[in-house]
């Protein structure tokens, strides 16, 4: 069994629960039914798309997956495809050589261990090449409806900015968010935070006073200083997940 995040020793304070509840209401107002940003029609396609999305954009992934899935629509077909061919089909996204190897190896293990099906089990998913905890959480939540709060670097940043977690590490953030929001909301909150961050709460050039959440939930002094510092620095290319 893989280690799971430890539950918090102390329950969240009433003040913290109230902040989370208000944030949830705002997220519901702006993004009531957020779609999964990665195009897919089944659990296998979602797993592949999330694996491909590491350090690249959802848009870039959605541009390459139609051709990839046309050639390899299931684990059997993917496992039979040479790594070089997979790499050619995904060559425009970041880390394509490594991802091609992981895709073929994962497909082969799905055939060997799981009868060609994506397992609805966190430990089984995380045992696959190129599948980390966040990827497994996304697949469990979005493909199988199993409560899991997938925390990527963007959600980790927002949780710290909104004072929902101390920002010490991603696993702590996951634990804190799961303690603050009902389990049935975890999948929706994950997507809502992604969309809200893009639209209203970016990492750089952010004005906390104009953000519907940061304006009252953030440590505005620190947020303002961070925004000012970011504005004076050149903006490197942003890589997602």
Task: Show which residues are catalytic.
Answer: 134, 152
Q: Which two tokens stand for residue 21?
A: 């509840």
**Do 110 and 100 contact (CB within 8 A), yes or no?**
no
Compute the distance between CA of residue 206 and CA of residue 176 in angstroms, rounded to an integer: 24
Compute the distance between CA of residue 5 and CA of residue 135 in angstroms, rounded to an integer: 15
Instruction: State the greatest distance between any 2 C-alpha atoms of the chain, in Å, as a whole number.
Output: 56
Which residue intervals of 115-241 are DSSP H helices? 122-126, 133-144, 153-161, 170-180, 186-200, 214-217, 220-231
Tally the C-alpha atoms within 13 A of residue 84's C-alpha that lie toward its C-beta: 0
Tally the C-alpha atoms within 13 A of residue 152's C-alpha that lie toward its C-beta: 22
| CB-CB neighbours of 53 under 10 Å | 24
């Amino acid at each position: 069994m893989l280690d799971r995040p430890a539950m918090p020793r102390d329950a969240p304070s009433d003040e913290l629960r109230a902040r989370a509840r208000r944030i949830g209401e705002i997220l519901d107002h702006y993004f009531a039914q957020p779609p999964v940003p990665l195009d897919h029609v089944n659990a296998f396609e979602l797993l592949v798309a999330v694996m491909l999305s590491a350090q690249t954009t959802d848009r870039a992934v959605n541009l390459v997956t139609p051709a990839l899935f046309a050639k390899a629509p299931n684990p059997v077909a993917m496992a039979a495809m040479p790594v070089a061919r997979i790499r050619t089909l995904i060559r425009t996204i970041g880390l394509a050589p490594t991802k091609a190897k992981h895709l073929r190896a994962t497909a082969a293990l799905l055939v060997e261990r799981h009868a060609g099906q994506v397992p609805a089990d966190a430990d089984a998913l995380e045992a696959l090449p190129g599948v980390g905890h966040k990827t497994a959480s996304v697949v469990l939540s979005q493909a199988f409806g199993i409560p899991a709060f997938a925390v990527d670097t963007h959600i980790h940043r927002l949780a710290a900015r909104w004072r929902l977690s101390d920002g010490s590490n991603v696993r702590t953030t996951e634990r804190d968010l799961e303690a603050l929001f009902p389990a049935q909301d975890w999948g929706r909150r994950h997507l809502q935070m992604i969309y809200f961050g893009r639209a209203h709460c970016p990492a750089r050039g952010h004005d906390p006073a104009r953000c519907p959440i940061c304006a009252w939930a953030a440590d505005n002094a620190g947020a303002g200083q961070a925004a000012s510092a970011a504005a004076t620095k050149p903006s490197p290319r942003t890589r997602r997940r």
